Amino acid sequence: MRTIIDDAGFFDGLRLLARFCRIAGFGGLLVCLDELVNLYKLQSSQARKQNYEQILRIFNDVLQGSTEGIGFILGGTPDFLLDTRRGLYSYEALQSRLAENSFAGNGLVDYSGPVINLPNLTPEELYHLLERLRDVFASGDAQKWLVPDDGLHAFMEHCANRIGEAYFRTPRNTVKAFVDLLAIIEQNPGVDWRELLGSVDVAEDRGELTDNDIFDVEGDSDDELSTLDIGKPATRAFE
């Protein structure tokens, strides 16, 4: 290596690493980039554009066959993708490539495109998620469960009473509260989960962009553009 990998050479470095993976006998390298909503929160339009140009380069190289043995999964909020002022749709080249199938709708889905809509969790799916978290704390041993099945039902009922159906539609705070509950029980043997349940505080995860969430980069204020109000799914990711 004759140079230190920086922002400009980051993608090339990943391609090189993917090549080493192939030489080592693996099928390739899968790169997961989550929380890309942070790009949407950048105050500087120039900084957002530079990041979106890198995403466009990744998109073109992977789909056009310019690089092999590497794949990308990028995760972000609906605003990160659909917002025509700050999101990926503000970059025309990306908007045209990531546009949804016009025939998809009314229950019809298309999984062949680069964008995959992630549906909301159902209460049943959230219950199974809590089961898995309980298993992690117990190292897979059912004899070491910190709360019984009744405790899972009681916890979900508590969350429903506090914030309504949002507890499974935006489960981040619900999951965090459950992990905190298990941590207290694990570190304080003899504590009854029933006594703790009433003190569990669960707040609704609104996921809205506020002034405190905006990152100021290079002191460049955003341009005065209007935002096109289009339909927004619950969560969205593209690969």
**pLDDT tens per residue, range 93-102:** 999 999 988 8
Q: Are 146 and 193 in contact (CB under 8 A)?
A: yes
Phi/psi for 156 (5° steps) reads: -65, -35
Mean pLDDT of 29-47: 91
Tokens of 100: 């949804």
Both tokens of 190, joined, read 């003899």
Strand order in the sheet with 235-238: 29-33, 70-76, 235-238, 115-118
Least confident of 160-169, 173-182, 225-234: 225-234
d(CA 120, CA 170): 8
Looking at residue 224, its pLDDT comes to 44
- 204 pLDDT band (50/70/90 cuts)? low
Q: pLDDT category, 227, cuts 50, 70, 90?
A: very low
Q: Which residues of 70-108 are buried (b: 16+ CB within 10 A; e: fewer)?
A: bebebbbbbbbbbbbbbbbbbbeebeebbebeeeeeeee
CA atoms within 13 A on the CB side of 3: 8
Average pLDDT over residues 23-44: 92
Q: When comparing pLDDT for 144 and 207, which is higher?
A: 144
Picking from 159, 183, 161, 181, the residue whose alpha carbon sits closest to that of residue 171 is 159
Instruction: State how far Cα 172 lies from the chain centre.
Output: 11
Cα-based distances in Å from 150 to 17, 19, 147, 156: 48, 50, 8, 10
- Indicate the average pLDDT of the chain: 82
Residue 107 has pLDDT above 50, yes or no: yes
> Residue 236's pLDDT is what?
43
pLDDT value, residue 144: 92
125-155 pLDDT, tens digit per residue, is: 989 999 999 999 999 999 999 999 999 999 8
